Every structure is written in structure tokens, then in C-alpha cells.
Structure 1
Amino acid sequence: MSPLEATSTSCASQPASCRHGNLNASARRWFLQKKMAESVVRALYGRGTSLTLASKKIKEVPKCVSRLTNLSVLLLNNNSISALPAELLSLQHLAELNLGNNALKEVPAVLGHLESLKKLYLFSNQITVVPPEVIGGLQNLVVLNLNHNQIQRLPPEIKSLSRLQRLSVLDNKLEEVPVELGHLTSLSEINLTSNHLSWLPQQLYQCKELTKLYVARNKLTSLPEGIGTLAKLQVLDVAGNKLSMFPVEFHLLPLKEVYCEGNRFVRCEPMASVQDAEVLSLKELVARFVLREDRNRSSLVHRMLPHYPFLTDLLANGSRCALCLGPFLTTWLECVHFIRLKDVKVRSSLTIPVRALLCSYKCFNADGHSYYGVAKR
């Protein structure tokens, strides 16, 4: 008798409804169990590297799967699995695991020991927590899909996923993004659509390989400054937020697609306004002097600054005037200019408001520029 025959059920042991051609629920379960057993045995004796148990209506993973030590791909999606057996620890060659659309309430602890995993799909479960000890053991992960769960936060230990290229946490309950996400410098795609985010960390811009960023349908009122460092960003989706304008230098990004409908962008309704010259504080005057001198590499100020780390950190928050290009420390005057995007796929208007920072009312009152002050109603 062959191994495959050994798993088969004789006709006499089949459900009566099956023998008479009436495929009721009991008969369908019998066929599914039979097919599942055949799949496992075929993989076991054929030394297979891939096993598909998707859509088999199983509630638990057969422990005999742990004997398939050569497995590199295991598909368990579309079932009713609520936990994984510890025996799966033996699958040390497993590179792809799909547990999507099951009944998991937490990320199984055994996953933290499967160090060869590169692709992990946990979408459409009931997960509320991502344990730090599990995520910290997945250092070779390239793709992580946590879509359609109930996750409220990602642990700081996510920074250990140094090879991660695609992170998707769409349709969860995230209220913040950990600053440690900035350590994932291999990330090329991030999807945080449909969460409860009200802000994004500036550290996100350390992900220099990022080409796609999806943060639609959140509660964002602004994007952090410095977005110009994402020199490879091609797709940005910020639709359905509360943005009033885009950050400085946004229009210089190599974007091919921008989705921004459903925000609260400022509108261009010009009105005359001339402001009196301001009086700068002593701190601001000194800061501007030091920032100007620091540009000159041969100056004494430039040579001495490294000896004053506190001052260096303070001046790191400085900006540059959009008109005169002079440096300043305080965001003295927030303005906006309206940019018409070219060669970019946009669902709404091609003209978008982009923030501009001016160093003084003197620059603001100058003629010949297209910057507008922002009037609040």
C-alpha cells in the first residue's frame, strides 16, 4: 500500500450521504479533511518545499506539518485557525507563511523563532497586540502584512527588522507610529491607511529608499518638515485627512502619483496686507549671525561650534528663508505658495498649497514674489 493510499478512507467508511451522491455539510468536511491529509502526506514523502492548506476550513494546524522540515512556503490562509502549535519550531527553512483570514487574536509566539521567515501575512485576523519578543526575532523579514486587524500600537522592537522592505498595517487602530520606524532604512513601501494617526514622526524620513507612502484616511493635520529627503518617493496617498498645506519643498519630490482629495487645504483668495517691521529677540539675532557664519568653513564660529553640542542641536532646528535664503532659528512667518504639479497623476486639483517660511516681514512686504500669508477665519 502506498503512503497516499494509507491516508485514504475506504468507501465503507465514507459518510452515507457521500456514497449516495448527497453532498451535505458532513460529506464536504470529509472531503476537505481527506484532501488536507493527502496534501500533507504528499509533501512529507515527496520532500516538498511548499504546502497549501488554504481554504480547508481547519481550526488547527496538524502537528505532523512540523515533520516537513524542508518547507519554505506554507499557506494556511482562509481557515479558522486561532493558534499555532509549538512544534512548528522545526520549520527552520520556512521563508513564507500566510495566515491571512483566520481567527488569530495575537501574533503566535512560535513565529519569533522562525528566523528564515521573509514574508509573513497576518491580514484579516483579530490581532490586537504585536508582542515585542516575537517581532524582535524576525530579523530577516522582507514583507510584513498586518492589514485588517485591531492593532493599536507597534512595538519599538520593530527597529530590529532591518531588512524589511514592505510594511502594511492598513485598517487597524494605530494612534501613533513608533519613531523607531526610522531605523528601517530598507523600507520601500509603507501602508498606514485607515488608522487613527494624528501625526507622523519626522524620523520616517530616514527611510531613504521609500518609493510608496500610503497614509490616507487618518487624522493628520500636517506632514512633518523634511519630506524633501525622500528623494525616491513616487507615490503618496494622503487623501481623507485634515491637511491644510504640504511641507516645504514638497513640489521638488520626484512624485508620479499624488492622492490628496478630502483634505482641508487653504484656498488662494488674495487680499492686500502690509505688515510693520518686527523687532527680533536677542536670541534670534545671535542665532541668525551664528547660522550665517557657520556657512563659512573657514570662520572661527564654524570651527568652534562642534565644541558646543547643545548649541549645535539648537541650531539644527533652523530654517532658510524662501526669498532671501537667509538662515533663521524661529519659524518667523508661515506662508504658502500654490504649485501646479506637472507630469503627476492626481485625483483632484493639479494646484496644491505648499508651505513656505520667510525670515521677516521685510521679505514678506517685498514685491515680485508669489508667497501668501495664511489668514485664519
Structure 2
Amino acid sequence: MARRSESFVSASSVKVLSLVLALAGATQAMAAENGLQRYSPGVGGSDMTTPLVAGWYVQMPMVAYHANKLKGGDGNTATSATPTPVQGPVPAQPNLRSEVGIKADTYALLPRVTYLDNHQILGANVGFTVMLPLVKRKALFTASPIFAGSTVPSIAQPGYTTSINARVAGQNGSEMGIGDIEVSPLLHWEIGDHQAVTLAPTIVLPTGDYNAAQRVNPGYGNFVTFRPSVQYAFIGDGWDVGARAVLSFNTRNKDNGYFSGNMFNLDWQLMKFVSDDVRVGLQGYFVRQLSKDTQDLSIYSPAQLSAGAAKEITNGNKASVNAAGPAVGWLKNGGEMLLEGKFLKEFDARNRTEGQAFWLTVSKPL
């Protein structure tokens, strides 16, 4: 069976996927700032399970991510404290809560250029990779009071619902723009028959459009992320196996004092050729937040704090999710171009959205 001699590498990728946007009242139930992290789990594909040779490569992943579930720390629908209604003689109910709903959509183009040279350092070919995303994000929130076991009279319930809807409306948004650029040197080792390791110590810079006063932004915030990744590939005569382990370390957001906890991502792919130019398989990812979020409130004035500009993070709940799904790839002339599609379904989410992503990637060596 013919195998290609080119690779379509993207040694690390920016986080554009996995949109989680929390209500102001539900912020402490979510993890990372607005539930976001600067890595797109699932973006790696055939670049993890194909040979890599010296040369230039271009890659254009396109993704559509949709989520209509917002999960709390127990894996159930996220909840937030319900405020006292803004209308009518309704008694305060400090223990009353609301289920938080969301409809979140992210569409992104992730153009990447990668170069690998024949020059070696420590036995590894050296190179670099650069990616600048174009992102469209949209989020619509809903909240429903949970009246079970409460003393709220039925006549007062519409007042609570009106109050919640008024607060939710300020969190909705739809934005499109440039995202945060990532740059990284590459070190690529051939470590034996059919095996390779690639190291990419990536830096992500805050070049994206961002407004700290709104929930929905193309960029992630005014902070820097250091994101080293290690990728392993086994290119066999039957199944090909690839995996990428990624750690993300963030600085504090200068615009609002928020510090998103460190993240760990593991992407994997298992593929098999079923003809000379078509292969199929499975792909998935594993996401875990390693440290909780914090926030420096000293950047706010007492008046801003009393107006609700920010609140102390008391729990810093950590996000996690898993995903898996089918993948199929088509090679033109044994490696002249690659077209790959996949569908990844998320499950077992904690403190973030749970949805599904459709990926289509076009890759080509130059």
C-alpha cells in the first residue's frame, strides 16, 4: 500500500475551540477566564500521525464548535445564585438558585505556516511555526429559577424570572475578528524505525480583539501564554498512532487582574489506510485544569467593586472534559495535498461547556 513521504505538521495549535461563557452570577462555578483556554483540543490531526521531512508547509484548519450545555463541578447543569427581583413586593430568597443555559457557537480559520530545516541541534531538525486565527464567536444565555423546596409564592415567580432575564441579556454577544498569534521554534527527532518526537515551546501573544467589559471576544485577554508541547508519532504498516501533550502557563490579565489556572491537554489519533489514498480512524482529547483561577482585585477602585466590577474567586473550580469521534483523510497523489474531516463529541464536562466540533483541514507541502 502506498504511503506518503510528506507531512502536514502543525506542532502546536492555538486555543480557539471550547467556548465557555459564564453568567456574572455563575462566574465562580466556571474555570479559567470566561471558561476559555488558549488551545484548541482536537486541532491536531494527521499532522500527528504522518512522517515529517524538511521543507515548508501550509495548513488551514476550519472548525465549527457548538454547545448548548453549561456544566458545573458535579457534571450537572451549572447553577448560579438568583438575585432579588427588580419588581413587585417579592421576599428576598438568598438560597434560591437558577439553572444556567447557553447556546455557544465558535467558527474559526486557523492558517498556519511551518518550516523545518535540514540543520540539526542535539540530533533534532530545527524549524518554526506561526499561526494567526480569524474567529467568530456568539453566545446566548438563559437562566431558569429553581423553585423546588423554596418558599417563593407562585405569584412572585414571574418577578424572579424577569430579574434573571434582565441580567442575562447583558452577557449575550456576537463578535468577529483577529485572534491571538502564536509562534514557536520546532525540534524534530527521528527516534527509530517509524517513530518521531516533536517539541514546540510555543508563545501566545495578546494580539486579538479583546474588551474586558464584555464576555464574547475574538481574543482571550491581555496576557501571555507559554505553551510547551511534546508530540509523538508511530508510523506503522497498519495502524498509525499519534499523541500530543500540551501544558499552558498563563500570566495575569492586565486589564482585569484575572489569572487563569494552568491547563493540560492530551490529543490523540489512531488511523488506518483503507486504500492507497484514504484512511479512517478515531480521534479524541483529554482536558484538565491543573490549578485554580485567582483574581487581583487591587486594580479596581472601591466604587468599582461595590458596583460589581469583580468579585473574589472563592473556589476557583477547575475545568475538565473528554471527547472522541471519527476521522477520515484523503490524500491527493500520495501526499501532494491532504483533506481531512472529523467530528468530535464532548462528554463528562466539568465547569465548562459541553458540545461538539466539526473540523475540516486542508494541508499542503510547498
Does the TM-score normalized on the shorter chain lie above 0.5? no
Greater fraction of residues in strand? 2
TM-score tier, shorter chain, comes to under 0.3
TM-score (normalizing by structure 1): 0.20
Greater fraction of residues in helix? 1
TM-score (normalizing by structure 2): 0.20
